[in-house]
Each structure stands twice: as C-alpha cells, then as structure tokens.
A and B are shown apart, each in its own frame.
Chain A
Amino acid sequence: MTIRSMLLAGAAAVLMTAGGAGAKTLVYCSEASPEGFDPAPYTSGTTFDASSHPVYDQLVEFKPGTTEIEPGLAESWDVSEDGLSYTFHLRKGVKFHSVDGFTPTRDFNADDVVFSFDRQGNKDNPYYEYAPGVSYEYYAGMDMPTIIKSIDKIDDYTVKFTLSEPNAPFLADMAMDFASIISKEYADKLAAEDRKADINNVPVGTGPFEFVAYQKDAVIRYKANPDYFKGKAPIDDLIFAITPDPAVRMQKLQAGECQIMPYPAPADLDALKSDPNIKVDEQPGLNVAYLAYNTTQKPFDDPKVRKALNMSINKQAIIDAVFQGAGQVAKNPIPPTMWSYNNAIQDDAYDPEAAKKMLDEAGVKDLEMNIWAMPVQRPYMPNARRTAELMQSDLAKVGVKANIVSYEWGEYLSKSKDPNRDGAVILGWTGDNGDPDNFLAVLLGCSAAESGANRAFWCNKDFDDLITKARQTNDMAERTKLYEQAQVVFKEQAPWDTIAHSTVFMPMSNKVTGYVMSPLGGHDFYGVDISE
C-alpha cells in the first residue's frame, strides 16, 4: 500500500463515518451567500453567520441569548483604575483547526491576538490590504483606530490593550465579529506561498466548527471541531443550504430538507405555527426604526412641535399594516432587550385632537413637510414607503401636508446626512454589540450630529453629558442609571418619533433542541442537537 492510497483509504473512512448513520447533521436554510469567510472586512450578519460564529472565537464572547460578556479566548481580564488599560489573560491549550495545506504546529497565543488587530489598524501589516479593495470597515466604524492606542504582548498568554480615553463599551466591542482571532501561523504560511487572499476563502479559527467546503451560492459545509475548548458540539456536521426566497425556505423546512431557517415571510407565520412538526421561536430584534426631524430647522427646532407631530402618528396602525404584527411600538431609542431600557417612560399617546391644539399653540399653521422613505427593506423596516403613506394620512388629519420623497439607497444615506436637509427621515439601526452607547451615542450624540449619523442633528448638552459620562465609567449600575436618565431627556425633547422594534422569528423542526436566539441577531449552532 502506498502512502497515497493509505491516505485515500483514511479519507474515505472519515467520509463514511461523517456520512454514516451515527453522524448527526444539522441543515440550516440560510438566506444569502456569505461575502467571504474572513469576518473583519465585512459588516453583514449573513457573512458573520458563516464565518465568525461557527469558525472563530473572540477574546470575550456574548453569553448565549444575552448581551452580557463572558470569557472567550481570554480566561479573565483586568481593567486598570483609570479605565485606560485592559489586560487579557489568554486560555492555554486552545488549538486552531487544520485545513487542506495547513496543520498548526502551535497552540493559540498572544501573537495571534496582536496580529488579528494589528492587521486592521496598521497600514504596514502585510494583511492590511491582502486583496485589492479589502478594508476593515467595522474596525474603523467602531472607532477602534482612535480608541486603541497600543496593543502589547506581555508574554505568550497575556495581552495588554491601552486606550486613548476611558471607554466602557470597549469590552463589548471585543466580543464583536470583527474582533475574531485568526491564526498568525496560518496567515504567515499563506503570505509565504503568495496566496494571502485564501484567508478569506478557507478560514482557520479556534471555533466550534471547522470549515470543510463552500460551493458558491449553494452549500457551505462544516464539521464539528473535536478539540473545541468548550467541548465538541452535539452535532457532527453543519450544512448551510443557501435559499434566498423565504417561501422556498419554508417549503424546504416543511419537507425536511433543512431543520432550521431564519427570516420567514410574515405572511407565512400562521402556516408555520400551525404545522405540528415545526416550532417557531421569537424574540424582539435589537433594532429600532425611527423618524428623525431636522431639529435645526423651523418649526422642527421646537420640541413642542415635534411632540405634537409624534402624537398625530398612529404607530400601532403601522405595526399592524406594515409589520403585519411582527413588531412592537417603540417608545425609547433603544430596544427592550437591551440593558438600561427605561420601561417607566410613557410614550406620547396617539391623540390627533390634542396634537392639533399643540400645533396651534406653537403657532404652526399650514405646515408642509417632506417625509423621506427609504427605497429598501431593512430588518427594522419592512416597507418604508407604506409607512410614510400612513404617516402622510395621519398628518393630514392635523392639517399638516406631507410629501413623500425617496432616493436610491446609497444616495438616501448620504443626502439624509446633509444638515440643510428638508423634512423628516425614516431610518433605523441594528445594534452591533448590545451596549446602549452603540445606539445613544452613535445616533443621538453631539459628535454624531456633526458627522450626520445623527439624522436629527440634535445636540442636547444634558443628553450628551449623560452618555459621555456613562461611556467613561465601568460601573454597570452607574451606567444603567445614566442611560435611564438619558432616555428621559430624549423623550422630553423628542428629536425622533420612535416607530418600532421588529420581531425576529426562527422556525425550526420539532427535533431541534438547544437552539438559543441571540438578541444581537446572529445565528449560532453550537449547543444545538437533533433528537431522533
């Protein structure tokens, strides 16, 4: 027997075990193709579902089903008194995956951590632009180049991050997908063989599943990592069957061609719920849809006018007609699954009569305004055009004439950032890291008002002081109190009409056990099992 034929026989034996009766396979009907398998250059959830979630780990991780932080590749960490340095103590004995052409010779260590971040921030790193056009938008978008001053390897199992200013959300940032730890040894090998781009094609991580193969736009195959540091996953094989159409996904689930699917069409929910072989989990999404007034322009600079307009819009009608029930009315800018959500706040109730009176008192007559409706469907907003039409008819009842405007999506995003923009914009946000700062500062802070990410151009000193203080302290109880107060200021000032938080549904076969929905919207299959 030659070595080659021995290898072939071995491979065949492995395949037979994998495909045999004993192996448990979970098929997930995913909604789209991943853009690549290196999570850092991308920002879409679909790509993370296929890369960072199954294949990679981060220093710290989100506890399943929550936005709380728990140890990941770092067993523990210390934060200095001044909040400026974070020292991570790394887990020992963690193995990277083996793939065709690469077998790790050493365990995970501090070099991998330093490399994983250095490549995103250091222009001289060979992986900074490993293929034409690669750029690290999430790293830049989360402000990492400003926040991180330096990253130092103290020893093989200790890494110190020094920040340029205290930043409490930093720990949550380290649990995000862009912060996935990749193997430096693998990257070096690829660089030596002049095929750096393969880091985006064949991922090597430490996560619960090892990448096996990707047939473009069709199937992704993974197998359970037997050496996973939290223990091998209950299933042996994980397969993504890429199925873009929601109605077809549902048919596949019902026919048993897959066991779990995301994003059902709202119209199909009743049929899915009534199928005895299927259960449907649901959870409020970590998102918000809003209508942002331009608070620098008359008459929208007057909080009374903004409140009156909010009171004239029937949000429940929007939930019923546009979200078809798959959502809930929003009263705060952050969703209810997020810590520090202030449930004591009373929403401005729908009351056209009172709204009309308030507008009269504010001296607003024959108001004509634009409502901007996005041209695309987003997770937080199924149909902005229809929402705008409902708002238009509600506003007409209080004597306000609303015109609906729209642009191509890219143009919409950039034009709505113009401080001279006319009218109110429908837009929304999906949370990145489960930290309230990721909503309140990104969307409503004063510096965001300058960059335009704050589409209301609303810069309120009280509010900004509260969220700045909350960002700079690491005391969770203190932060919660500050964010709760910030939500009170927000409601009084009403720079937005908070429209809705959408509901996320996850239909699956009754045989699937142990699936936990993530409030962050990602899909994780570690811990999932299939009962016979």
Chain B
Amino acid sequence: MIRFFLGKILWLIPTLIGITIVAFGFVRVLPGDPVLLMAGERGLTPERHAELTHQLGFDRPIWVQYSDFLWKVLHGDLGDSLVTHKPVLHEFLTLFPATVELGLFAMVLAVVIGVPVGVLAAIKRGSWFDQISMGTALVGYSMPIFWWGLLLIILFSGILKWTPVSGRISLIYYFPNGTGFMLWDALMSGQKGALTSALSHLILPSIVLATIPLAVIARQTRSAMLEVLGEDYVRTARAKGMPPRRVVGVHALRNAMIPVITTIGLQVGMLMAGAILTETIFSWPGIGKWMVDSISRRDYPSVQGGLLMIAVIVMVVNLIVDLLYGLINPRIRHR
C-alpha cells in the first residue's frame, strides 16, 4: 500500500518539471509581444521598446529566462504581473477561493444529481425516465455555456426576479479581512441576510458550471452501472434472494463507482475550462477570467504562474482520485 502511494507521488516530480516547461513555453509560443501590446496604437520608439524589453528581462536567452523562472518557482516566487506589478502568487491566492467555492458547489451539484440519475436510468433502462434523462444530458453536454448562462440570467434574474444577476454577494455586505470564501465569511460575519445573499448569488453560476460535468457523470454512471448489472456476481446475488436495493446499492454501485470516480477527477480539469466562461458571465472574481485577461495581455509571469498553479491543483486532485481507487478497489493497489 505504502509503495503504491510513494510510486504515485514520485511520479509527480518529472510531471511537475514538464509542466514548468510547458507553462513557460506556451505563452512564448503565442505570437505577440507584451511590450507592444502595452503601448497599443500609441506605439513606442525602437529605443524605448528595447529599453523596456531589457527592463523586463525578455532580451535574455530563453534558457536563462527559464532557469530564472524555475529557480524562483523553487523558492515559492512566481514573479510579478506585468500589468498590476503585484506578485503573481498573491493575485492567484486572492482569486482562487472564489473559483474553489464555485467549483465545489458545482461539483457537489453534479455528483448529487448526476449519480442517482445515472443509477436510476440504468435500472430502468429503456424507460421514459432513461430516455428523457439521457436526452437531457446530451443537450446539457452540448450546451454553449455563454448562451446558457445568459438565458438563465434573463429568465431567473430578469423576468422572474428570483436570483441576483451577477457578483458574489450584495454590495451592502463587505468583509475587509475575509478569507475570500464568501459563504464562510458571510456566516462568520454574523450579519443578518449575508449568508442568504451569498447563497443566492451562487445558484445560477453553479448550475451553469455544473451542467457539463453533470451530464458527463450521469451518462458515465449509467453505462458503468449497466455493465456491472450484467455481471455474473450480480446475477448470483439476485439468485440467492438478496433484496434488489442491496444488490444495486452495495454490489453493483461500489464496482460501478470506479470509472465514475475517474470521470469526476477528470471533470475537475474540465471545471477550470468551464470556469473561464462562467466567471466572465457572472462577474465572478476567480482565476478563470484572470487567466484569460492575462493571456490576452501576454502577461507572461501571470500566465506561466497561473498555468503552473492550476496544473499542480489538477494533478493533486487526480492523485487523490488515484489513491481513492486504491482504497475502493484492493486489486489496483496490489497490482
């Protein structure tokens, strides 16, 4: 067991080095010069351009820039943003709680709805419930997020006035020394109505962000369940007279969960992609929108630092998923 864990963790080291190279290289492969973009139509003289490029260190050989980046990363320094001139790590950590809060909420929504729907659809294969739920899942999976988010805003905030349009909490609440996790801050502040306000702001963006993972999880659960339900041991369990609820809930579901957990782990990466659009629509101050802004400004330190952090987080989540397998399925850890 310990060997299995250690093996997984050791693999992280070369992967991390690989990620630094990709993160560093990616933004430099994109055409576009951050200095020129800063100046815009106004432009700058070739001398000024050279001076600024030198000031930012972009005139050094690429491997020098990379080793400088790597050296700083090892010391916990991701550099300073070219735009705000603040440390990238600080910016990331300021915005990250908002993305985590939204992502967790969306993920819980996707799992809590997706898994039971998938199980039920598998048990009642071919029924109207199966057809409608899987049809809806397919639509959800293909939904353009931007359009979907706007549609929900117009319906629930514009016409019905049930939810606020955008933001994280009503502007009358403000927690200067908060953690950045708005639900927690609202709860701790003890201010009347703060928690309700924060929750009501979370509803629409969570639904939008959860839509695609929910669809994927529901479909994955259904097909995994179908496969397991056809297995010999399920038939045996049934034959020996075990109650159907126990057959499905214990024997079938536990085995079907392995591919589902893989899917959930992979969806964390997908959530980051979804967060970019969701955060833009709902004015949600998270890292998805921050990354897009940084890329369009060719803010090299922010892009490479942000990519690195996101990659590390996705890796850690997948590592946890891997370790969970080991716990759920002894065959994997003994292989």
Contacts and interface: CB of A to CB of B under 8 A. Distances in A.
B14 interface: no
Interface string A132-146: 111101101100000
Contacts of A107: none
9 contacts: A216-B94, A241-B171, A242-B285, A243-B166, A247-B150, A251-B153, A255-B164, A409-B37, A413-B43
Contacts of B161: 255
B32 A409 contact: yes
Contacts of A36: 83-85
A contacts with B: majority SS: mixed
B165 A135 contact: no
B194 to A, nearest CB: 13
B36 A410 contact: yes
Interface stretch (A86-94, A217-225, A278-286): A217-225
Given A255-B164, A257-B167, 14 more contacts: A41-B85, A43-B40, A200-B84, A215-B174, A216-B94, A217-B286, A218-B167, A219-B167, A243-B283, A245-B150, A248-B283, A409-B32, A413-B41, A414-B36
Interface residues of B, number: 53
B164 A257 contact: yes
A208 interface: no
Interface in B2-21: none
B145 interface: no
A218 B98 CA distance: 11
Interface in A184-220: 197, 200-201, 213, 215-219
B37 A410 contact: yes
A452 interface: yes
B48 interface: yes
B203 to A, nearest CB: 15
Contacts of B283: 218, 241-245, 248
Nearest to A429: B41
B168 interface: yes
Contacts of B229: none
Contacts of A33: 293
The 10 A-B pairs with the shortest beta carbon distances in the complex, nearest first, are: A217-B285, A410-B36, A131-B85, A218-B285, A408-B31, A410-B32, A243-B283, A252-B165, A141-B42, A410-B33
B237 interface: no
Nearest to B49: A414
B298 interface: yes
A218 B86 CA distance: 17
A451 interface: yes
B244 interface: no
Contacts of A132: 56, 80, 85
B91 interface: yes
A300 B283 CA distance: 48
A96 to B, nearest CB: 22
